[in-house]
Structure 1
Amino acid sequence: MKVLVTGPTGFIGRLVVHHLRQTGAELRLASRHPERFGLGDGAVPMPNFDAPAAAFLALTRDVTHVVHCAGLNNDQGDATEADYQAANVELSARLAHAAAAQASGRFIHLSSIRAVIGARISATIDENTPPAPQCAYGRSKREGEIKVLDAYASHGRSDAAVLRLPPVYGSGMKGNLATLMRLADTALPLPTGALTGIRSLMSCEAAVRAVSHLLGHSRSLRPIYVGADVPPVAVEAIIAAFRRGFGRPMRLMTVPAGLMRPAASVLGRQAFWDSLTATQICDPALLISQGWTPEASTLERLAELARLGKS
């Protein structure tokens, strides 16, 4: 088995690479920075989205499976809609067409629940939730999903799948979870009582296990899968877990939301505040029904992440 992994230096991609190596898989790593790898690591340059078709055919030649982790994330504050389209739509489409033409196995495309729902909307999300992305990043991830599945369908194949991930935590994480972790690392009181949101998260290890499961399980692939730890956790409990890990006093205050939202607006953080008060629950029942095991100790894992960060 030979697996092409794109984005092998990214937050999840590097863990996918580590896991697949442990299973004994032969790897080809497609990276914008192949010089970061050793000569024996199988690293090759990742073609640009507008590269000739031959470049993508060369990349996928003699490959069994493809795990597509590469993309432009929503933590890039200066990225434009065109940037997201190029990285998350056009590049994914070109890669999927080449893989569908000659890779013999499965194509696993890592996506996000932002392809379905905005950060400030409350909802329960599963594979049948109608997509309604609210930002340039989310729109690009949804269009990328469509392009990948359409590319395989155009070759008469059904062995491509999209794995939608909620916020993923682990060493090196970014985004709102990293911001919450930094906020928790202080002795000052925090007004968390107004943070009424409940969120599904996913450990990076559970995400990697989901990728491995989709590559290897014997059932036919479904087009869309949703991953998540079980159960979801309250935002206030997330902050408390980080504080435990840092060895900080709890000092979590109850402050009415009617006072906090205007303050967040004045500070230019209203979008961040609204995202913490929304409830977004992901239902991974389909993955679980096919034999995948979710992480069940989310708060303990978050506390351990803070302890490791402190040390």
Structure 2
Amino acid sequence: MKVLVTGATGFIGRRVVSRLREAGFDIRVAFHAPQPPAGANDAVALPGSDAPEEAFLALMRDVAHVVHCAALNNDRSAGEADFRAVNATLTGRLAQAAATRTAGRFIYLSSIRAVVGPGFSDTIDETTPPAPQCAYGRSKREGEIEMLEAFATAGRDGATALRLPPVYGEGMKGNLRRLMRLAATGLPLPTAALTAVRSLISHDAVAGAVTHLLTRPTPPRPTYVLGDASPVAMSEIVAAFRRGYGRPARLLPMPARPFRLLATLLGRQASWQALVATQICDPSLLASEGWTPEAGTLGRLEDLARQAG
């Protein structure tokens, strides 16, 4: 059984491809680069969002399922139109072709930014009303809508969006990578700026969720919120990285008030709120359907720093 994987050379996509191959699936890689990835026996160029319909239909030849990992992530140089073209329009075009030509499932890797902004503090689950606060988040939400509408128009089920919190693993980027680099400096850090509790998820757990949804007999729900079994405090994340680097935690018990006042004076209240916001993802829906969330978050983060050191 063949699975088309977009974004297969990316941070999460590589792990998805590996797990699916271990599960016995044949893989077709859709790539953006000028040359196909090394070792890919079945590789095709991913069409642009404005490509003709025939280009998308051709991708689906002999394909049973689609896992759509390709995305424009939180790139500060990108504009609203750039995010919409890649994360919404391209997703919709792929979903339309899949709904027409495949008999299986369409899994779209979305983000919790499709429903909440960085300053949101509360638990996030499948019932959380979508209220994206940035161009990236809006485009991911539009991608979810276009995917589900394409399958509904075709009278099909089987399409689902996986809303992911920050993803960690070898090769990770973004805020977690920056936080790991900060931990590597050994500089003392104030605990007042690290009180937030966050859900994270490993790229292995994401790949496991994808494999689970492609192999279980019943169709997936329209959306799932994923996350490791237990959220972790930012201070615990820093301490785990520093254990991996073989360094002391060096977290100073300083009050939050001076930092909050400084943020206010600098006009950075939103940045402060994003820093201290607690965002807990509840993965119990997919867990109730047989998927097992990662339980050793801090140990995995420690291992990442140990390997990097």
One-letter code aligned to 1:30: A
Deviation at 1:262, TM superposition (A): 4.7
Cα distance change on mapping 1:306 and 1:273 into 2, 3 Å: farther
Distance in 2 between residues matched to 1:4 and 1:266, nearest whole Å: 51
Aligned partners of 2:9 and 2:37 also within 8 Å = no
TM-score (norm 1): 0.95
Structure 2 equivalent of residue 8 of structure 1 = 8
- Which has the higher mean CA deviation after the structures are superposed, 153-162 or 36-45? 36-45
Gaps of 5+ in 1: none
The question of 1:25 aligning with 2:25 is answered: yes
Distance in 2 between residues matched to 1:31 and 1:188, nearest whole Å: 40
Aligned partners of 2:119 and 2:270 also within 8 Å = yes
Q: Secondary structure at the match of 1:173?
A: coil
The question of 1:229 aligning with 2:228 is answered: yes
> Over the residues paired in the alignment, what is the CA RMSD in angstroms?
1.7
Aligned partners of 1:206 and 1:295 also within 8 Å = yes
Aligned partners of 2:198 and 2:279 also within 8 Å = yes
Distance in 2 between residues matched to 1:210 and 1:268, nearest whole Å: 41
Q: Secondary structure at the match of 2:191?
A: coil
Cα distance change on mapping 1:235 and 1:55 into 2, 3 Å: same
Cα distance change on mapping 1:287 and 1:242 into 2, 3 Å: same
> C-alpha deviations, 1:75-99, integer Å up to 9, x for none?
x120000000000010000000000
Aligned partners of 2:243 and 2:302 also within 8 Å = yes
Cα distance change on mapping 1:283 and 1:40 into 2, 3 Å: closer
The question of 1:159 aligning with 2:158 is answered: yes
TM-score (norm 2): 0.96
Aligned partners of 1:34 and 1:44 also within 8 Å = no
Distance in 2 between residues matched to 1:182 and 1:269, nearest whole Å: 23
Deviation at 1:263, TM superposition (A): 4.5
The share of aligned pairs that are identical, in percent, is 61
Distance in 1 between residues matched to 2:257 and 2:284, nearest whole Å: 36
Distance in 2 between residues matched to 1:9 and 1:104, nearest whole Å: 25
Structure 1 equivalent of residue 208 of structure 2 = 209
Structure 2 equivalent of residue 182 of structure 1 = 181
Structure 2 equivalent of residue 121 of structure 1 = 120
Structure 1 equivalent of residue 198 of structure 2 = 199
Deviation at 1:155, TM superposition (A): 0.2
Aligned partners of 1:47 and 1:55 also within 8 Å = yes
Distance in 2 between residues matched to 1:276 and 1:234, nearest whole Å: 12
Deviation at 1:254, TM superposition (A): 1.7
One-letter code aligned to 2:126: E
Distance in 2 between residues matched to 1:250 and 1:90, nearest whole Å: 45
Equivalent residue pairs, number: 309
Aligned partners of 1:243 and 1:249 also within 8 Å = yes
